[in-house]
Structure 1
Amino acid sequence: MKQRGSLQKTKLLALILLVLCFQFLGSNKLLTVTTVQGEELNGTEPKVIITSPKTGDILNETSLTISGTNENFTAGASVDLYNGTEKIGTTNEIIENNWTITIDLPEGTHDIYAKATDSEGKTAATSTINLSIDTTPPTITFGKPVDGAFTNSSSIEGTAEPNSTVQICMDCTKDSGSQVVGTWVSVSADSSGKWVYTDALLTQGNHTVYAKAIDQAGNTGSVNQITFILDTLRPIVLSEVYPLQDMTQVSLNTTIKVKVSDENVLKELVINSSINLSTNGTNVPGTTVYNSETKEITFTPEKSLTPNTKYNVFISPLGLMDIAGNIAFPKIWSFTTVSIPSETHQNPHGGYDNNVNICGNCHSTHESQSPKLLSAKNATESNQKENLAVDTYCMACHDGTVAPMPENMQNTHTHNAAVNIDGKPSGSSCASCHNPHLDWSEKNPNLTQDHITYKHLPSDPEDPNQDKPTGEISSKEQLCESCHETDSAEKIANPAVEYRVFQYNKSNTAIGIYEDYELCLRCHNQDFQKKYEKTPDIASYYNNLTEELKKQYEKINGQSSFSKREISAEEKNFSGHIIKAQDGSPLAGHIPCAECHDTHGSNNIKHLKTKLGHENPTTFEAKTGDWDAAKERAFCVTCHNGKTAIYGVIGSPIYDETTGLAVDPTITDHNKNSDKACSKCHSDSQDENKAFIEAAHGPKKGKN
């Protein structure tokens, strides 16, 4: 009895514990735990799985079939399907453990799971799958370009349903049934619905683009279309500007005039800021007027300009924009106002014909010891800067008071090579390039040195006693009077005698031929180098394109055709600095000297500019020391950086700014850490000094 009472107490305690477990754990959890523990030991736990659709699926039908499988259930099992807590379907038809249930679901997101039960009371439920029903076709809109408008971008932008597929058919057609016929190209809309399609080969002119969207459910939307006009051509400021580049003696009441070339209409709202006139960094206020028929823009200063002053004209790209959004190429030049306001003459040094005493301002007939009677003080002529006594006459007026001071004359390094054409010291660096005795003209506003040339033909029949020179003779090399003492005037009047000014052409006037830079090259050539060792030979890198070649080309192809031609492979092999301007300038040849060098002086060695480039100009500094590999690399990448442009031409990139590596990763010497000179690969010369000069003036294609 005592034992039976103990047993009953034990059963009672077990019952109490069981009840407590039901209360705390719940009947399902307790059942699951006990069932799983028992079944897992045998590896026969019941399972029910939904095999189709998959969680995350987006479907475009409201009626769909849910498929699944059962495992470890006895015969007579059934499957119930739930959408959340709502029972939506049941099947007792389970064939080889496979089952299907067809249901109808409304649009939206649904949480689906299945529960299986067999005759022995075994149960199991699937994990919940999430699916969406979407039967609504997606819409598509265009953002850019605007229908019927101009655009300067070859990209089409718009919006559609997020993460949908957008199909584009560019310049396709419609058949008789209004179906679009052509090739469709797919792009993806991002999570916000934005999509972009770019066709880099899209041509200028009218285009029609068709677009439709296919959403993730597979719904295809209606086709939308727009038309637009592609115009990527930037407005061009023609080179025929006024005042002319480097013009002097400009009237104090002058008006700045430029003419724009563009097939499109300009935005007149921004034109007021197109012409900027300044002096010494201060803008000159004025009024801008635009003639839409002639596309000429004029800027009239509010007040008269200051005499004897250099003014800079800057054509701002932001002030010249066409309705497609293309901004103009920038253009900058300078001019100098009249020194002595006079209606009588335009000669800045006076009227020699009217007053011969003007010669006495610089020459002393009876007192000078100089062969040129320039100054009694000029007893010793030298090519040293501090002894250039003759230049003191020029600078006495050209100090910014009576006449303008030459640009950059106050800089550290100035052009003080005072030499004659024969290589002998002249005593004047100014007169090396300028002839103070000339009369002013628009064609030679800076009194640049001039000469006359004549082609002597050999005698026919040949006269053995005749010792006259043959070929082209320049008066800078041999005076006519040396042979024609008594008939010089008559000979010079011969139509075959050509008067020439040594040109120093820049961006608005340079074609790129040898004669464009003859003022510099008349000294910087091979013959002159032999006479005067300090002068480097530059001319050898420019002599492949000449005026004679230009005349021959235009005789065959028509006037001005030389500037319009494409640069040949032969020309590119001769010099990598032969380019064709894209900004409306006439350049189709060698880059002008003035693009890299300041004329009268610079704070950099070799007269190199501190700002290089027309667009996105870059700073370059090399104020002291010898020219070496480090300076050369720094100088080259100032333009060759993929951003800086001259004449609308961007320098081929050398460095990739994001990685520091060369564009061509196989060329290790393009790495920023390399100390190898550019001229080692971009010059054919083995002499280091000649290689430096060649790489700068006539670079060759790189040698790997």
Structure 2
Amino acid sequence: VTLSVDGVVVGSVTASSTGEWSWTPPVKLPDGTHNFVASVTDTAGNPSRTGDFRLDIDTTRPGAADDVTANDNVGPVVGLIPQDGTTDDSTPTFEGSGEAGDVVIIKDNGEVIGSTVVGDDGRWSFTPETRLADGPHSVVIVIEDPAGNSSDPSAPINFDVDTSAVIVSLDYAIDNEGSLTGNLSSGTVTDDTTPTLVGRASPNSVVEVFDNGVSLGSVRTNAQGNWSFTPKTELPEGSHHFTAVATNTAGTVSAPTASFNLDIDTTAPGKPGEGGTGGDGIGNVWDDVGPIQGNVGNGERTDDNIPTLDGSGLQPGDIVTIIDNG
């Protein structure tokens, strides 16, 4: 059997006793299309000729994919997933381009999660059938051409998947104004027109605070999930019903918190004895010691060194401070 490649005789081989033969080129053939012809001469010297065998040799590796994108198709925030971003889509779609017919192999954290073929338009798209687990992911693309040559891995696309529910709380408020300061529970009264609201939510999420349904602004939680918010504008006197809503880094939005209620009161009470809400001042001074007891008139004497003072006409809950000689 005499072998010719592209019209040039390159070697010969003798068939075995069973009529089988094989031949390997002694030197590597260059990339390109090659026509192989086998001419047979039997032991009697009779020649024959086979048909041409055509083979394309391709040893060039495809270039690494350089336009791969990951896309979020779930939830309130959709579109391109940024590098080192977070998504709530556990089956994001990866897209890119290549040579038509090339095989695209998708690897996540070093493991193959699927493959697809570049279409006639030079584009490819892949969506995992199995959901990606919550946590960090690093996806690379390897292109394999029909000859079996593989590209270098693409630059990794790094992102986190977070499908967990977002929970937010509004736990207490802090009064930083006036004579009475400290932590406030829901349903209390404060003279602080910019009380600080404190709560918890998912780490690094954005918490938006509302007052009577109107947004006051937003703040980001820290890595431990703690947040606090102080209104930039003074709130008016009256009843305030605060709620908070959190949006995590994947774009998932929580349900609002229960209403946290505060009454803001910055009006000083009237001076005792001046009428109106000021009441009647010290209404009575009661002597309940010794032979003479009863109400002691203004300017009179008493032998009771712990007389009882009383009054009325103030707001329920007001604190009355009694001052003696300054």
TM-score (norm 1): 0.27
Q: How many residues align?
A: 213
* Displacement after TM superposition at 1:188 (Å): 2.1
Deviation at 1:264?
6.1
One-letter amino acid of the counterpart of residue 77, structure 1? D
Pair 47,259 (structure 1): closer, same or farther in 2 beyond 3 Å: farther
CA RMSD, Structure 1 to Structure 2 (Å): 3.9
Q: 1:187 maps to which residue?
A: 218
Question: Deviation at 1:125?
Answer: 0.8
In structure 1, the residue matched to 2:146 is: 119
The 3 A distance-change label for structure 1 pair 46 and 189 is same
Name the residue aligned to 1:109. Answer: 136
Q: Is the 8 A contact 1:117 1:124 kept in 2?
A: no
Deviation at 1:113, TM superposition (A): 1.5
Work out the CA distance in 2 between the residues paired with 1:86 and 1:101.
15
Identify, as 1 or 2, the structure richer in helix. 1
**Matches of 2:268 and 2:166, distance apart in 1:** 38
Cα displacement string for residues 150-195 of structure 1 (whole angstroms, at most 9, x for unaligned residues): 23333333222233232333224xxxxxxxxxx4454122324303
Alignment of 1:291-690 (within 5 A): 295=320, 297=322, 313=326
Corresponding residue of 1:265: 317
Cα distance change, pair 76–45 in 1 and its aligned pair in 2 (3 A)? closer
Q: Deviations along 1:82-141, whole A, 9 cap, x unmatched?
A: 111211010113454432110121222222221112235141211222212222231111
Output one character per residue of 1:638-685: Cα deviation in whole Å (capped at 9) or x when no partner.
xxxxxxxxxxxxxxxxxxxxxxxxxxxxxxxxxxxxxxxxxxxxxxxx
Does structure 2 retain, via aligned residues, the 8 Å contact 1:166–1:213?
Answer: yes
Counterpart for residue 48 of structure 2: none
Opposite residue 55 of structure 1, the aligned amino acid is Q
The answer (yes or no) to whether the contact 2:97–2:118 under 8 Å persists in 1 is no
Contact kept, 8 Å, 1:238 with 1:258, in 2: the verdict is: no
- Amino acid paired to 1:187: S
63 and 236 in structure 1: CA distance in 2 versus 1, 3 angstrom threshold: same
Question: Could you tell me how far apart the structure 1 residues matched to 2:155 and 2:236 are?
Answer: 56
The residue identity in structure 1 corresponding to 2:317 is V
Q: How do residues 33-182 of structure 1 correspond to structure 2 at under 5 angstroms?
A: 46-49=63-66, 50-52=68-70, 53-70=81-98, 75-103=100-128, 104-120=131-147, 121-145=149-173, 146-153=185-192, 154-155=194-195, 156-172=197-213
Question: CA-to-partner distance for each residue in 1:284-307, whole Å, 9 max, x for gaps?
Answer: xxxxxxxxxxx35266xxxxxxxx
Aligned with residue 216 of structure 1, among 233, 242, 249 = 249
Report the secondary structure of 1:123's partner residue.
coil
> 2:265 maps to which residue?
231
* 1:238-292 residue CA offsets vs partner (Å, 9 max, x unmatched): 59999xxxxxxxx9x999999999746357xxxxxxxxxxxxxxxxxxxxxxxxx
Which residue type is aligned with residue 111 of structure 1?
S
Preserved CA contact (<8 Å) 1:78 1:117: yes
Q: Determine the C-alpha separation between the residues in 2 that align with 1:129 and 1:85.
A: 12
DSSP 3-state at the match of 1:225: coil
Partner Cα separation in structure 1 for residue 268 and residue 312 of structure 2: 10
2:168 alignment partner AA: I
* Inter-CA distance 80–221: structure 2 relative to 1 (3 Å threshold): same
> What is aligned with 2:238?
205
Cα distance in 2 for partners of 1:296, 1:193 equals 39
In 2, Cα distance between equivalents of 1:95 and 1:193: 52
One-letter identity of the residue aligned with 1:231: D
Quote the sequence identity (%): 20
Cα separation, 2, equivalents of 1:225 and 1:101: 42
CA distance in 2, matches of 1:84, 1:66: 15
User: Measured at CA, do residues 76 and 95 of structure 1 come closer, stay the same or move farther in structure 2, by a change above 3 Å?
Assistant: closer
CA distance in 1, matches of 2:90, 2:157: 17
Distance 2:313 2:107 in 1: 73
Deviations 1:569-595 (A, max 9, x none): xxxxxxxxxxxxxxxxxxxxxxxxxxx
Distance 2:102 2:138 in 1: 23
In the alignment, which residue of structure 2 is the partner of 1:422?
A: none
1:166 alignment partner AA: V
Relative distance call for 1:297 and 1:128 in structure 2 (3 A) is same
Maintained 8 Å contact 1:57/1:131: yes
CA contact under 8 A between 1:258 and 1:296: conserved in structure 2?
no
**Structure 2: which amino acid aligns with 1:147?**
S
Higher fraction of strand: 2
Partner residue in 2 for 1:694: none
2:127 counterpart SS class: strand
Query: How many Å apart are 1:211 and its aligned residue?
Result: 2.4
Q: Secondary structure at the match of 1:224?
A: coil
Unpaired runs of 5+ residues, structure 1, are: 1-38, 173-182, 243-250, 268-294, 300-311, 314-704
Letter in 2 for 1:115: V
| AA of the residue aligned to 2:145 | D
Deviations 1:355-394 (A, max 9, x none): xxxxxxxxxxxxxxxxxxxxxxxxxxxxxxxxxxxxxxxx
Q: Aligned to 1:124, what secondary structure does the other structure show?
A: coil
